[in-house]
Amino acid sequence: MLPKEETYIGKYGMLRKTYLKNYRKGMYASLMLSGKLNSHLSEIDRTAKERIEQITAKLLQSSPAPDKATDPMGWTGHMNNLRHSAEESVLAELIYN
């Protein structure tokens, strides 16, 4: 019996797990049998969050948001668009590959 790892796995880790289960069965089984699945998923989750923050910051530099005080809805929409773009990039780069 393998020791049970107690690791938090967030949204991106769970997306990665689903992807591996459905499309990379060999890799999933290998990680599972070696007891490294949870640490892999946790690492993917942490890395994905960091990359999204980095990409969002870069996008914000190249495309500044409207003033939050004078245009709160415009600011929110702009930030959501930047975050969505960053997330799309990270999903392709880390999760579904």
Determine what percent of the chain is predicted with pLDDT higher than 70: 94
How confident is the model over 22-41, as pLDDT tens digits?
999 999 999 999 999 999 99
- Please answer whether residues 29 and 64 qualify as being in contact, where contact means their C-beta atoms are separated by less than 8 angstroms: no
Residue 77 is predicted with a pLDDT of 97
How confident is the model over 54-76, as pLDDT tens digits?
999 999 999 999 999 999 999 99
Q: Taking residues 7-21, what's their average pLDDT?
A: 94
User: Which H, E and C letters describe 24-80, residue by residue?
Assistant: CHHHHHHHHHHCCHHHHHHHHHHHHHHHHHHHHHHHHHHCCCCCCCCCHHHHHHHHH
